[in-house]
């Protein structure tokens, strides 16, 4: 089974600015610690200086560490590490899955990470084990011939904008009016590939 997108499409720097993440955490921590020390008038200046230095040192290092951690996790998910990536359910009929796409299912503001498996007789999204238990149930589409795929612009909320989340188009899978949204790199390319595949798989 092949991955539809190359690993380079999942470079973590494409999804968020870790420089802004570090700055956002540093600013939040500086403000919180300043408010906590407002009652200490005598040591206020010293506390402001020490808090500012700590904010400028600790939180950028935290952002660097978080970038490395996320990069390693994405690599393990992309490679299908069995401790994190469950096997997809057996497809019906004679045909298996031809390819899969590492992506996130959007449920409101909650992102459920996993793989979308695509075969001529079945489409299924399988969440990985790092999700909350209540979000780990696979999502099935049992009649791929009835599906339509499209894209739409991402709608970011204020906190995502504040930490520098970089918007990408969302992949939309529609089944008789029921829409399911996915966050995936290069959504236009994924849509085009799915369109061609679904049309060829079910053409007479």
**SS3 sequence, 112-164?**
EEEEEEEECCEEEEEECCCCCHHHCCCEEECCHHHEEEEEECCCCCHHHHHCC
Orientation angle between helical segments 18-36 and 44-78, nearest 10 degrees? 150
Total domain count, the chain: 2
User: Environment class of residue 102 by beta-carbon count within 10 Å: exposed (0-12), middle (13-18) or buried (19+)?
Assistant: buried
Residues 182 and 93 in one domain: yes
Residues 163 and 104 in one domain: yes
Residues 92 and 153 in one domain: yes
Is 188 within the bounds of a domain? yes
Q: Which domain holds residue 68?
A: 7-78
Q: Give residues with Cβ within 8 angstroms of 145, minimum separation 6.
A: 198, 201, 202
User: What is the C-alpha to C-alpha distance for residues 71 and 96, in angstroms, rounded to an integer?
Assistant: 30
* Whether 122 contacts 100, CB under 8 Å: no
3-state helix, strand, coil in the chain (%, to 5): 45, 25, 35
Which of 116, 188, 125 is CA-nearest to residue 154? 188
Per-residue pLDDT of the chain (204 residues; tens, 9 = 90+): 789 999 988 887 666 766 777 777 777 777 777 777 676 666 667 777 777 777 777 777 777 887 888 889 999 999 999 999 998 888 777 778 889 999 999 988 788 999 999 887 788 999 999 899 999 999 988 777 778 889 988 877 666 666 666 667 889 998 877 889 999 988 899 999 888 887 765 555
Residues 74 and 115 in one domain: no
Residues 66 and 117 in one domain: no
Per DSSP, 16 falls in state B
Is beta strand 99-107 parallel, antiparallel or unpaired with respect to 2-3?
parallel
Residues 104 and 192 in one domain: yes
Is 1 within the bounds of a domain? no
CATH number for the domain including 151?
2.30.29.30
Each residue of 156-177: pLDDT tens digit?
A: 766 666 666 666 788 999 887 7
């Amino acid at each position: 089974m092949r991955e539809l997108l190359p690993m380079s499409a999942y470079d973590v720097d494409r999804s968020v600015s870790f420089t802004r993440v570090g700055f956002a955490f540093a600013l939040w921590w500086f403000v919180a610690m300043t408010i906590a020390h407002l009652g200490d008038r005598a040591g206020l200046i010293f506390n402001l200086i020490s808090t500012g230095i700590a904010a400028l040192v600790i939180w950028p290092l935290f952002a660097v560490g978080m970038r490395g951690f996320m990069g390693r996790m994405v690599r393990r998910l992309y490679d299908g590490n069995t401790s994190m990536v469950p096997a997809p359910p057996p497809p019906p009929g004679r045909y298996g899955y031809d390819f899969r796409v590492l992506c996130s299912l959007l449920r409101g503001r909650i992102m459920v990470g996993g793989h979308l498996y695509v075969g001529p007789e079945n489409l299924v999204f399988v969440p990985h084990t790092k999700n909350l238990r209540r979000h780990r149930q696979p999502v099935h589409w049992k009649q791929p011939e009835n599906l339509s795929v499209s894209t739409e612009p991402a709608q970011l909320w204020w906190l995502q904008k504040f930490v520098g989340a970089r918007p990408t188009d969302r992949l939309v899978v529609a089944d008789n009016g029921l829409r399911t949204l996915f966050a995936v790199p290069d959504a236009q390319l994924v849509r085009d590939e799915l369109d061609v595949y679904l049309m060829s798989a079910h053409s007479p």
